[in-house]
Homo-oligomer: A and B are copies of this chain.
Amino acid sequence: MEKKAIATLRVLAVEQIDKAQSGHPGIALGAAPIIYTLYAKVMNIFPGNDNWINRDRFVLAAGHGSALLYSILHLTGFGIMISDLKKFRQYESITPGHPEYRITPGVDTTSGPLGQGIPIGVGMAMAEEYLRKRFNKPLLPLVDHYTFVLCGDGDLQEGVTQEAMSLAGHLRLSRLIVLYDSNDIQLDGTVKDVNTENVAGKYQAMGWNYLYVSDGEDVNTIENAILQSKMSDKPTIIEVKTVIGYGSSMAASHKAHGSPLPHEDVLKMRKALGGDSFEVSGEIYDYYHRLINERNQANYQKWHQTRAVYQKEYPEEFMLFEKTIKDEYEIDFQSLISLVAEASKATREYGGTLINAIGKIHYGLFGGSADLSSSTKVKGVDGDFCVENRLGRNIYFGVREHAMAAIANGLALHSLRPVCSTFFVFSDYMKPAIRMGALMGLPVIYVFTHDSIAVGEDGPTHQPIEQLTMLRSIPNLITIRPADGYETLYAVKTAIETKSTPTAMVLTRQNIPNITNLKAAAALNKGAYVLAYEKNKIDGILIASGSELHLALQAKSVLFKKDYDVRVVSMPSLELFEKQNEDYKNKVLPLKIKVRVAIEMSEGAHLYRYIGPEGKLININKFGLSAPGGQAISAYGFTVENIVNTFIQITNKKS
- Chain B: CB-nearest residue to A470: B470
Number of copies of this kind of chain in the complex: 2
* Complex CA distance for A188 and B186, rounded to whole angstroms: 39
Q: Which residues of B lie under 8 Å from residue A205 when comparing CB positions?
A: 197-202, 205
* Complex CA distance for A438 and B159, rounded to whole angstroms: 22
Q: Which residues of B lie under 8 Å from residue A351 when comparing CB positions?
A: none
Contact A459 B608 (CB under 8 A): no
- A384 within 8 A of partner (CB): yes
Q: Which residues of B lie under 8 Å from residue A159 when comparing CB positions?
A: 158-163, 400, 402-403
- 1/0 per residue A97-117: CB within 8 Å of B? 110100000000011111100
Q: Which residues of B lie under 8 Å from residue A436 when comparing CB positions?
A: 461
* Complex CA distance for A91 and B613, rounded to whole angstroms: 34
Distance of A455 from chain B, by nearest CB (Å): 9
The interface stretch among A264-272, A330-338, A423-431, A444-452 is A423-431
- A25 within 8 A of partner (CB): no
- Chain B: CB-nearest residue to A187: B371
- A612 within 8 A of partner (CB): yes
* Complex CA distance for A603 and B471, rounded to whole angstroms: 12
Contact A475 B92 (CB under 8 A): no
Contact A163 B170 (CB under 8 A): no
* Complex CA distance for A155 and B399, rounded to whole angstroms: 8
The interface stretch among A29-37, A274-282, A622-630, A639-647 is A622-630
Q: A435-B428, A625-B91, A626-B89 are in contact. Are A112 and B460 (CB under 8 A)?
A: yes
- A195 within 8 A of partner (CB): yes
- A538 within 8 A of partner (CB): no
* Complex CA distance for A587 and B373, rounded to whole angstroms: 53
Contact A166 B160 (CB under 8 A): no
* Complex CA distance for A155 and B398, rounded to whole angstroms: 10
Contact B606 A591 (CB under 8 A): no
Contact B97 A457 (CB under 8 A): yes
Contact A63 B163 (CB under 8 A): no
Q: Which residues of B lie under 8 Å from residue A605 when comparing CB positions?
A: 469, 472-473, 605-606, 608-609
- A311 within 8 A of partner (CB): no
Contact of A188 among B170, B194, B373, B426 (CB under 8 A): B373
- A207 within 8 A of partner (CB): yes
* Complex CA distance for A207 and B196, rounded to whole angstroms: 8
- Chain B: CB-nearest residue to A459: B97
- A96 within 8 A of partner (CB): yes
Contact B460 A193 (CB under 8 A): no
Contact of A425 among B113, B197, B466 (CB under 8 A): B113
User: Top 9 A-B pairs ranked by shortest CB distance?
Assistant: A112-B461, A159-B159, A201-B205, A96-B626, A194-B398, A91-B627, A466-B473, A469-B473, A154-B399
What would be 6 A-B contacts, judged by CB atoms less than 8 Å apart?
A: A159-B163, A186-B398, A186-B399, A188-B371, A188-B374, A201-B205
Besides the known contacts A97-B459, A170-B194, A187-B371, 7 further A-B residue pairs in the complex with CB atoms under 8 A apart = A91-B631, A96-B625, A157-B371, A166-B195, A428-B431, A436-B461, A466-B474
